[in-house]
Amino acid sequence: MKTVGVLTTGGDAPGMNATIRAVTRIAHSRNLQVLGFERGWEGLLTNTFRQLTPRSVGGIVQLGGTMLHTSRCPEFKTEEGLEKAAETLALHKVDGLVVIGGNGSFKGASELSKRTSALIVGIPATIDNDVFGSDETVGFDTAINTAVTAIDKIRDTAISHERIFIVEVMGRERGFLAVNVGISVGAEIILIPEQECKLETILEVIRENTRKGKKAGIIVAAEGVGNTGTIAKEIEKHTSAEVRLSILGYAQRGGSPTARSRLLAGLFAEKAVDVLCGEEGNCVVGLQGGRVTGTNLKKSSETQKPLDLSLMKLAEMLAT
Ligand code: F6P
């Protein structure tokens, strides 16, 4: 192993910079040169990269976003795109590639692995926390904290006006962010794609809360549950509650990473470089039961990470 490529792809996540820095510095300590490809997979298609050194990645551990930039790159998914990416790796004699991203990124990485001799290691970094093989992803903790800070403020105005707020958080098709945020803010109701919740159930909870004397409420909804605006309208139609919708949106992807996200960046980067140097095979590194582990890349990309539904029960008990 002599040359390691690194790229960030898919939606950015806080802590991607800390991950780039950690990979670069740890790889250099093992006498590897590091090439940072720009704008995710696009960098491999356009042969756009820069040499990364311990000094060139200085001063970024605390910065949100990604210094290498990222993109959605439909061209990479084509046969020609994958071949071109493999050619670029061969051109620069890249024998190990670190892909920093989420589940979609690892699907792409798994396809690329069929066409290149370079070893590929994925580092999970996404606010969706949807990577099989890791209990937690870089950026997830930061996004939870960002959403919690915003919703605590929304709770103030909800109480003042005696309103119900539906707060929509990101997470793509998954409810990891919603359930963790919901518990942390004491949401009265949490809506996630993994557990169907009928309108009638929502209405029952709201009516019961009114009987108990609760005049305000927070419903945390994952974006994957569908049209939250319609849910807001339906609640207003069938109850006496005044309802507002607040979509938190892209702010959840930005900001300075929490200590937790930075720490995971370091732990995952160390494992990724170990895997590359040990030539252990394509994998996704991760945290499982407190241990840093590696999971086969193909398996990780093809397996849906389970969400622990007992968290929904806990949330319900905490919201009484
Ligand atoms: O995967 C991260 C994420 O922020 C999801 O939560 C969200 O659904 C999606 O990316 C948005 O993607 P885009 O940046 O392409 O709009």
Domain limits, the chain: 3-139+257-302, 142-253
Q: Could you say which of 12, 128, 130, 141 is catalytic?
A: 128
Ligand 1 close to Cβ of residue 128 (< 6 A): yes
Q: What ligand 1 atom has the least distance to the C-alpha of 128?
A: 6
Q: 17: number of CA atoms within 13 Å, CB side?
A: 20
Of the candidates 244, 225, 258, 280, which has an alpha carbon nearest to the alpha carbon of residue 166?
A: 244
SS3 of 40, please? coil
Structure token digits, residue 281: 């095979």
Domains 3-139+257-302 and 142-253 share a fold: yes
- Position of tokens 């979609």? 104
pLDDT by residue for the chain (320 residues), tens only, comes to 999 999 999 999 999 999 999 999 999 999 999 999 999 999 999 999 999 999 999 999 999 999 999 999 999 999 999 999 999 999 999 999 999 999 999 999 999 999 999 999 999 999 999 999 999 999 999 999 999 999 999 999 999 999 999 999 999 999 999 999 999 999 999 999 999 999 999 999 999 999 999 999 999 999 999 999 999 999 999 999 999 999 999 999 999 999 999 999 999 999 999 999 998 899 999 999 999 999 999 999 999 999 999 999 999 999 99
Ligand 1 close to Cβ of residue 177 (< 6 A): no
SS3 of 148, please? helix
Q: Which CATH architecture has domain 142-253?
A: 3-Layer(aba) Sandwich (3.40)
Largest Cα separation within the chain, whole Å, is 69
CA of 70 relative to ligand 1 center, distance in Å = 12
Ligand 1 close to Cβ of residue 72 (< 6 A): yes
DSSP 160-213: HHT-EEEEEE--TT--HHHHHHHHHHT-SEEEBTTB---HHHHHHHHHHHHHTT
Ligand 1 close to Cβ of residue 126 (< 6 A): yes
The pLDDT value recorded for residue 280 is: 87
Total residues found in the chain within this entry: 320
Ligand 1 close to Cβ of residue 172 (< 6 A): yes
Residue 71 CA, chain-centre distance (Å), reads 15
List the end-to-end C-alpha distance of the chain, in Å, as a whole number.
57
Ligand 1 close to Cβ of residue 174 (< 6 A): no
Nearest CA to ligand 1 atom 4: 11
C-alpha distances out from residue 58 to 18, 24, 26, 212, 311, Å: 10, 10, 13, 55, 39
The pLDDT value recorded for residue 279 is: 83
128 is known as an active-site residue: yes
Q: What ligand 1 atom has the least distance to the C-alpha of 72?
A: 15
The residues, ordered by sequence, that sit 6+ positions from 221 with a Cβ below 8 Å of its Cβ are 166, 167, 168, 169, 178, 190, 191, 228, 231
CA of 157 relative to ligand 1 center, distance in Å = 28
Q: What is the CATH number of domain 3-139+257-302?
A: 3.40.50.450
Ligand 1 close to Cβ of residue 249 (< 6 A): no
Structure token digits, residue 39: 């704008």
Of the candidates 93, 90, 43, 89, which has an alpha carbon nearest to the alpha carbon of residue 66?
A: 43
The pLDDT value recorded for residue 240 is: 94
CA of 69 relative to ligand 1 center, distance in Å = 15
CA of 171 relative to ligand 1 center, distance in Å = 7
**Residue 52, class by beta-carbon neighbours within 10 Å (0-12 exposed, 13-18 middle, 19+ buried)?**
buried
Nearest CA to ligand 1 atom 9: 172
Q: What ligand 1 atom has the least distance to the C-alpha of 171?
A: 6
Ligand 1 pocket test, pick from 172, 176, 223, 228 with the greatest ligand atom count within 8 Å of Cβ, gives 172
